[in-house]
Amino acid sequence: MKRLLLILFLIAVTFPPAQTPNAIPSRPRIGLALSGGGARGFAHIGVLKAIDSLGLPVDYIAGTSMGGLIGALYAIGYSGAELERIALETNWNQLFSDQLPRNILPYPEKKETDKYQLVLGLKNREIQLPSGLIRGQKITQMLSRLTYAFQNVKDFARLPIPFRCVAIDLISSRKVVLSKGSLSRAMRATMSLPTIFYPVSWGDSLLIDGGMMDNLPVDVVRDMGANIVIAVNVGEPQKSKEELNNIIDIVGQIFSLANTEAQEWALANADLVLTPPLGSMTGADFDKADIRRSIRRGHRVAVDSLAALLEIRHITDPTHIHSADRAVVDSTRLYGVQIAGNTTLPFSLIDSLLDLRPGMLFNADTLKAHIYALRRSGLFKTVKGSVQAVDSLRYKALITVTETQKPHIARVTISGQKILSFRFIYNLLGIQPGTVFDPELIDRRITQLYSLGYFETIYYDIKPLSENRITIHFHVSEKPRRELRVGIKYDDLYNLTMAIGVQGTNVLIPGLRMENELLLPEYLAARFKVFYPSRSLTFPIYPFVHLG
């Protein structure tokens, strides 16, 4: 606390009140650095709820792993309370599984549910080991749903709160600070815990969780321009031999050991460090009771540091200027306008309707009047406005909109396929030009396509073409053409039974699947199956042949 007060004093000296009418006192910028920590990261939500209640302005956010996920959502406008609702309503244990519910699987795939415990790709008769235990298709779709309104924002500095997240490039062995591109893919990359999740392809790079090099990115948020850094540290302390009970614990310990020097630097260089008292909670504790407890403890550590947070709010308050200067201030002026949430309507159209111009006299009533004009246009379901102080006399207007009319899909493009044709995938998706863009519909179609077993991952992005028209682009990654499948089960009739199968996909014709299977040792049998798990027909028929 004494260190923080000294820092705030130095900042007050660095950003002094104006002494002449022409001098405009600058407001110190606040940055949040949110660490990784798996399920322990839900404590960030409790801290953010406290920051919301205090009205503390946040100018920059940088996060790693779970801190990157929560930080990104906060940066695009989700409040601490909304993040809490999302965290508690989500079934995280299901989300971190690639297994889809049986009710959406085609009939041949339903019969194979839980039959094989080990599935490995085959290429040129050689076994291909997987890149991780979880492909992450479900969480990829969830992140797309939560962030789709910002898919046309490719520069994270243009988000309502400028944002960065940290990953590691497996190719160059370097830390990568993600600042541009697809927000949902950046979020997926920063949480790609090695051996657990498949890494994320990003240009020429292959990205994994950044926690091994920079789990608490104080340096990143400093580089963004923050004068005051609040660091929230939820990383797990190093465990004893008896506490290393599973692969999550071991990977977490490796991260902790590799990150020691960077962690020490971050803790020493943050202005305020909040460390929620999470006790024995691990990064794998995703049950609802654990999530609630984590959020409560995050809020508690913020309340315990209330005096420090209030001091930061006081020194960053733009109205905190010398009384002699107030007499010459007729009104604050608009510094700039930032618009977010529009998926099809161009910025220029919204900007002309809003009619806010940099340099104009500006106050709360001015903003309300211009927002009312925007609502009156009928183009928007919701319009939210807020202001962010640049200094004591200038403010930036932040406008977040939800469009009334959903855009129409003008073009559908697909990339990443190597064996299956564009036409084959396009027909299975069933999304054609002229279709109204509906994120829930797109999500269902992706889930149906994924259920057929042809792909490892599927995700999409959108690009505005003109007013009310967009291009939707699907990125796919196909599964290996052949797979070795091994399973073991025990029953009262045959005791222990092992199933060994080799399955080929896209044999003879696209989508056709063949499998040779051997059962042993008590029940000895050989089986041959041919099936075509495609939903391209107008009724649910799945051609299926079973011999043996």
Q: Has residue 197 been placed in a domain? A: yes
Q: Has residue 319 been placed in a domain? A: no
Same domain? 294 vs 189: yes
Nearest to 57 by CA among 161, 153, 196: 161
Residue 188: pLDDT over 80: yes
Task: Give the list of residues 6+ apart from residue 9 with CB closer than 8 angstroms, or none.
Answer: none
Residue 395: pLDDT over 90: no
Q: Has residue 148 been placed in a domain? A: yes
Structural tokens at position 158:
């243009």
Higher pLDDT, 23 or 357: 357
Structural tokens at position 332:
């604050």
| Last residue of one domain, picked from the residues 423, 448, 478 | 478
pLDDT, tens digit (0-9, with 9 covering 90-100), for 268-304: 999 999 999 998 888 889 999 999 999 999 999 999 9
pTM value is 0.82
Structural tokens at position 485:
């499948």
| Cα 533 from Cα 540, distance rounded (Å) | 10
Q: Has residue 321 been placed in a domain? A: no
Nearest to 269 by CA among 193, 324, 218, 333: 218
Same domain? 352 vs 470: no
pLDDT, tens digit (0-9, with 9 covering 90-100), for 2-13: 555 555 545 554
State yes or no: is 304 an active-site residue: no
Average pLDDT over residues 258-264: 82
List the domain range (segments joined by +) for residue 68. Answer: 30-101+129-312
Chain mean position to CA 59: 19
Q: Say which of 169, 209, 285, 461 is annotated catalytic.
A: 209
Q: According to the model, what pLDDT value does residue 382 have?
A: 85
| Cα 451 from Cα 432, distance rounded (Å) | 20
Same domain? 428 vs 473: yes
Paired with 483 in beta bridges are 121, 503
CB-based contact 458:446 (threshold 8 Å): yes
Q: How many domains does the chain have?
A: 4
Q: How confident is residue 320, by pLDDT bands cut at 50, 70 and 90?
A: low
Same domain? 142 vs 201: yes
Q: According to the model, what pLDDT value does residue 543 have?
A: 57
* Sheet (strand 544-547) strand order: 126-128, 118-123, 482-491, 495-505, 513-521, 525-531, 544-547
- The three-class DSSP label of residue 263 is helix
| Cα 98 from Cα 329, distance rounded (Å) | 60
pLDDT, tens digit (0-9, with 9 covering 90-100), for 506-526: 877 888 888 888 888 767 778
State yes or no: is 351 an active-site residue: no
Same domain? 444 vs 376: no
Q: According to the model, what pLDDT value does residue 148 have?
A: 83
DSSP conformational letter for 530: E
Q: According to the model, what pLDDT value does residue 77 have?
A: 85
Q: According to the model, what pLDDT value does residue 160 have?
A: 86
Q: Has residue 118 been placed in a domain? A: no
Higher pLDDT, 469 or 217: 217
Same domain? 446 vs 533: no
pLDDT, tens digit (0-9, with 9 covering 90-100), for 411-450: 999 999 988 999 999 999 999 999 998 888 999 999 999 9
Paired with 184 in beta bridges are none
Q: How confident is residue 156, by pLDDT bands cut at 50, 70 and 90?
A: very high
Q: Say which of 35, 65, 184, 451 is annotated catalytic.
A: 65
Q: Has residue 441 been placed in a domain? A: yes
Tokens 């405009």 belong to residue: 24
CB-based contact 29:60 (threshold 8 Å): yes
Helix (H) or strand (E) holding 335: strand 332-340
| Cα 360 from Cα 335, distance rounded (Å) | 8
Average pLDDT over residues 389-407: 78
| Cα 385 from Cα 354, distance rounded (Å) | 11
Residue 61 exposure: Cα atoms within 13 Å on the Cβ side: 27
Same domain? 463 vs 495: no
Same domain? 292 vs 436: no
pLDDT, tens digit (0-9, with 9 covering 90-100), for 138-153: 999 999 999 988 888 8
Residue 314: pLDDT over 80: yes
- The three-class DSSP label of residue 307 is helix
Q: What letter represents residue 180's amino acid? A: K
Average pLDDT over residues 217-230: 96
Same domain? 280 vs 301: yes
Q: What letter represents residue 9's amino acid? A: F
Same domain? 344 vs 201: no
Give the CATH number, domain containing residue 448. 3.10.20.310
| Cα 518 from Cα 497, distance rounded (Å) | 10
CB-based contact 309:368 (threshold 8 Å): no
Q: Has residue 110 been placed in a domain? A: no
Same domain? 163 vs 180: yes
Q: What letter represents residue 381's amino acid? A: K
By CB atoms closer than 10 A (0-12, 13-18, 19+), residue 99 is exposed
| Cα 82 from Cα 89, distance rounded (Å) | 11
Angle among Cα 485, 486, 491 to the nearest 5 degrees reads 135
Nearest to 335 by CA among 379, 427, 397: 397
| Last residue of one domain, picked from the residues 403, 431, 460 | 403
HEC secondary structure over 389-458: ECECCEEEEEEEEEECCCCEEEEEEEECCCCCCHHHHHHHHCCCCCCECCHHHHHHHHHHHHHCCCEEEE
Q: What letter represents residue 44's amino acid? A: H
pLDDT, tens digit (0-9, with 9 covering 90-100), for 323-376: 444 333 345 778 778 787 776 677 777 888 888 888 888 777 778 888 888 888
Give the CATH number, domain containing residue 258. 3.40.1090.10
Q: Has residue 111 been placed in a domain? A: no
Same domain? 225 vs 208: yes
Tokens 């075509």 belong to residue: 532
| Last residue of one domain, picked from the residues 312, 344, 364 | 312
CB-based contact 159:76 (threshold 8 Å): yes
Helix (H) or strand (E) holding 214: helix 211-214
- Mean of the per-residue pLDDT values for the chain? 83
* Sheet (strand 332-340) strand order: 361-362, 332-340, 394-403, 380-389
- Percent of the chain at pLDDT > 70 equals 86
Angle among Cα 241, 243, 249 to the nearest 5 degrees reads 105
